[in-house]
Amino acid sequence: MTSLALKLDHLVIAARSLEEGERFVVAKFGTATAGGGAHPLMRTHNRLLNLWGGAYIEVIAIDPDALPADTPRARLYALDDPALQRRIEDGPQLVHWVARVDRPKSLGRWRAQYPERIAPVVPMTRGANTWGLTVPDDGAFPSWQGVGDGVVPSLIQWDTPLHPSTVLPETGIALRSLTGFHPQAEIVAEQLAWLGVEHLMRVEATVGAPAIVAEFELPDGSVVTMGQSAESVETARRAEAEAAEAAKKARRRGKVQPQAQLVDQPQEEAESPAAEAVSRPDSRTSPEPSDAAHPPATPHHPE
């Protein structure tokens, strides 16, 4: 086990534009994001939403107004990957998470000791903030033994004294759980344990595509879920099918009920021929039925 467990720094929502990302967050949480800024090196920009406990949500998109970089490189978080771009065509997605390496631990030295485990550390800036972030040279998500897909976290170390969460507006939104789904869950779990972040994410095997699912509690006590796995989609479909079947059975019961009431109801003695005709059903016809409407490997850290 690691002698110094890492902390959750932030969750990453990828969007085609910051405007789309902002609408997504407001629809989910009923709270607007705060201004972030531009990342000149990556030609991206972001907006942020504070979470309880010293973490935040980052909404990130390609910056259409970014100037060409002196040394062009692939954007972080696979934003240049056509597969991810197709994925966010249907709307912003929770795609990644980032764990924080606090001093005196040195992220740069840790990377130098274990380059096969930790991606290169790229110096980043946004306004007055500076930090180092692990970003593979091709801009893909970090991986171990070819397995990552956003479920294995990036690592960050802040150089500025104040963490962004300390200056963002309070929201009262708390992260309740973070679950990673992956077809090769054992490899993911091994890397999380090695990094010292296994306490931050539960890892489960999936028959579908890799995914991250986060559950949040809002100030009013309601719960919001972001992201979905093949299993959660299948559970929702099954619940929908069960509800439809229950409604169908209820409708069938509703059609039979009027006839049963008619048979059980005693006939009163007719007071007149007209009344007798009403109370006595015509043997040539039957009553119309009515329609009723009716859920690890041991980590290695620098000394």
Residue that is written with structure tokens 């890892």 in the block: 203
113 shares its domain with 15: yes
pLDDT at 292: 37
Residue 55 included in any domain: yes
Residue 196 included in any domain: yes
Q: What is the pLDDT of residues 170-190, one digit of tens each?
A: 999 999 999 999 999 999 999
Residue 286 included in any domain: no
Residue of 229 and 144 predicted with greater confidence: 144
171 shares its domain with 130: yes
pLDDT at 257: 52
pLDDT at 278: 36
pTM of the model: 0.77
Distances (CA, A) of 202 to 101, 151, 210, 213, 232: 20, 10, 13, 10, 15
Q: Is 63 a residue whose pLDDT tops 80?
A: yes
Residue that is written with structure tokens 């054992």 in the block: 186
How does DSSP assign 114-151, residue by residue?
Answer: -TTTSPPEEEEEETTEEEEEE--TT-PPP-BTTB-TTT
Rounded to whole angstroms, the Cα distance separating 266 from 95 reads 67
Residue 285 included in any domain: no
Name the pLDDT band for 191 (thresholds 50, 70, 90): very high
Rounded to whole angstroms, the Cα distance separating 175 from 189 reads 20
Which domain-ending residue is among 228, 261, 287? 228
Residue 300 included in any domain: no
105 shares its domain with 217: yes
CB within 8 Å of 284: residues ≥ 6 apart: none
Residue of 302 and 125 predicted with greater confidence: 125
Name the pLDDT band for 3 (thresholds 50, 70, 90): low
Cβ contact 292:250 at 8 Å:
yes
142 shares its domain with 207: yes
Q: Which of 38-42, 68-72, 265-269 has the lowest mean pLDDT?
A: 265-269
139 shares its domain with 242: no
Dig out the tokens for 185 from the structure. 């869950």
pLDDT at 273: 41
Q: Is 298 a residue whose pLDDT tops 50?
A: no
Is residue 172 left, alpha or beta, with left meaning phi > 0 and alpha meaning psi from -120 to 50?
Answer: left
192 shares its domain with 124: yes
Average pLDDT, the chain: 85
Residue 19 included in any domain: yes
pLDDT at 241: 83
CB within 8 Å of 48: residues ≥ 6 apart: 10, 33, 34, 35, 36, 56, 57, 58, 59, 164, 168
Which domain-ending residue is among 210, 228, 246? 228
215 shares its domain with 123: yes
Rounded to whole angstroms, the Cα distance separating 28 from 24 reads 6
pLDDT at 4: 65
77 shares its domain with 216: yes
CATH classification of the domain holding 102: 3.10.180.10
32 shares its domain with 117: yes
Q: What is the pLDDT of residues 11-21, one digit of tens each?
A: 999 999 999 99
Neighbours of 199 (CB within 10 A): 14
What is the tally of structural domains in the chain?
Answer: 2
Rounded to whole angstroms, the Cα distance separating 81 from 74 reads 9
Cβ contact 49:168 at 8 Å:
yes
Q: Is 231 a residue whose pLDDT tops 80?
A: no
122 shares its domain with 209: yes
Which domain covers residue 240, as residue numbers? 233-279
Name the pLDDT band for 161 (thresholds 50, 70, 90): confident
Over residues 258-274, the mean pLDDT reads 44
Residue 292 included in any domain: no
Name the pLDDT band for 256 (thresholds 50, 70, 90): low
111 shares its domain with 240: no
pLDDT at 70: 80
The distance of Cα 217 from the centroid of its chain, to the nearest Å, equals: 13
Judge residue 34's burial from the number of C-beta atoms within 10 Å of its C-beta, 0-12 exposed, 13-18 middle, 19 or more buried. Answer: middle
188 shares its domain with 249: no
Rounded to whole angstroms, the Cα distance separating 258 from 262 reads 6
Neighbours of 267 (CB within 10 A): 9
pLDDT at 69: 77
Residue that is written with structure tokens 């091709």 in the block: 138
* Dihedrals phi, psi of 184, to nearest 5 degrees: -110, 60
Residue 299 included in any domain: no
